[in-house]
Chains A and B, each alone.
Chain A
Amino acid sequence: MTRESCLNVVLMGLLLAVPLAAWALDEPFIITLTTRAVIFAIAGVGLNLALGFGGLVSFGHAAFFGLGGYAMGILAYHAQTYTPLMDWPFVIEGTKSMLVIWPVAIVASGLAALAIGALSLRTSGVYFIMITLAFGQMFFYFTISWSAYGGEDGLSIYVRNSFPGLNTMDPIQFFAICYGLLLLVLWGVHRMANASFGLALRAARQNEERLQAVGQVPYRLYLTAFAISGAITGLAGALFADLNRFVSPSMLSWQTSGEIMVFVILGGVGRVYGPVAGAALFILLEHTLGGLSPYWHVYLGAILLGVVLFARGGIFGLLAGREVAHD
């Protein structure tokens, strides 16, 4: 076992042990806090696929996070008001079932990522950063002016959506669902990263010309990675909206894009489990520093600055050593 996989096991174990201990001690707040970290971790794992493996610095992932949130918000809103989503050409009813909401969130944000990616990938470097940021803002302003679904005020859902056999309003059961999904996503991304697709994607990041010379099309690889990345972040958005039973345009704000990026960087770019460590550390900082001072973002900024300037590679870089170039 390498140090990195040791770290992975310890990390996932801690993430499971903390809420279980909180459950035994009857501390639902800690469980909810950990659930937040798990959901952010899923969003970060999604972004990491594009950013870490593909080298695509997307500053617009809040759009996919928010789209997932609105997919859940809109479906549940129609279900709780007993109004159909649309009645022409055929009737579509709202739903409170997570098993329907998740695929809708994944498909909607995946398709949006496909469209945004197809346009944005015509550019590269700084242009790519800025154009993804601008597309994110476009969705943000759209949701603000979308008065049918609450506009600036957002949408509230009275009861958390349902999952067969579980009581989702119980914090530990909802945590179990999120943790299960995180494991599933991590397994999928791990498989993808080591399959020929992932290897080709990493090769594209390192040297596009060489990859082209062996007959691969970088654009297609990037676009696939970007769409899958958006879809995973969309799933996290649906869970996040369910956790809060509330969705609003702030989920799509550019600060959210920045925060998702911070999870990836704090943890370690290009490590499958990196964003999990990053999201957990972020929540820990938010909780401890936020208790110290209402201006805790100053400290967060200082820590982030320190990581970027002096500790490249994030937590995984510090604890597991430099990334191994040849497996």
Chain B
Amino acid sequence: MAELVAVIASTHHPFYYRASTATGPERPPFADEWVRKIEAFRATLTKARPDVLVMVGSDHFHQLWLDNMPQFLVGKAPFYDANFHNEEREFGLPKMLLKGHEELSAHVLRAGLDAGFDLAFSNELRIDHSITCPIITLRPEADLPIVPVYTNIFAPPLPQPKRFVQLGTALREIIESWPSDQRVAVIGTGHLSLELGGPRQFGPHGPDPDFDRRAVGWIAGGDIEECLAEVSLESLHAPGNATHGFMDFMLMMGVAGEGRKADYVDTLDLFHTMEAYFTWYPNGEPA
């Protein structure tokens, strides 16, 4: 069976690409520290030597729209074009082309449906910065085939937080039941407290540093039960109006498992949002 070699949860910050590639007066003062932290985080994936990446993210009203909105969607295509015009315009993100892994996509869909998750699918999916940001930070060669998994954290009504955890738990079982000798890493990105388009946006810190501190503790400690007890669809409005993206972190806690402490934890208190980086090695840290 396939081996789950790494589970990675990260914020996805669309400013990283521009900040890390800027030079001279254009380079922001926080760029060097950010790059150092990202390169250390990247090493945690590299040493797991994955063959294929399952990428959990969320479309930001790019391809998925309110006339036909899936809650959970799996891409099944040989290739994925990436990044949209408005991401190039606002963040300077490049156009990209990523390979797909159709066999694993088909397995995730079949096994997921049979496990009680009515997953939508797409055979022509253009992916956005929720998946390309972690490619840029963690695997800039963009050389590995991917299986995109999109969640709806964006357009209410949303699934409950526990459903994200359950899907993560199922995703792990599905990957570990894939009859293959491939080494699989699951990478999911979300947010800690975040406000976009509201009065608390773009402050000197994230909108709710106390939530961020507790959230990092839940993720690092694998404290799924405690997190589920404190987080609801209603409560996530309080830390910031885009904080429902935290449910993608909860999905990744489900992949890692209840009580499973992260093997690598790092944070960066960037202006307007807290960056957070976590890696688990389900079968022990690679040499």
Are A and B a genuine interacting pair, yes or no? no
Residues of B within 8 A of A (CB): none
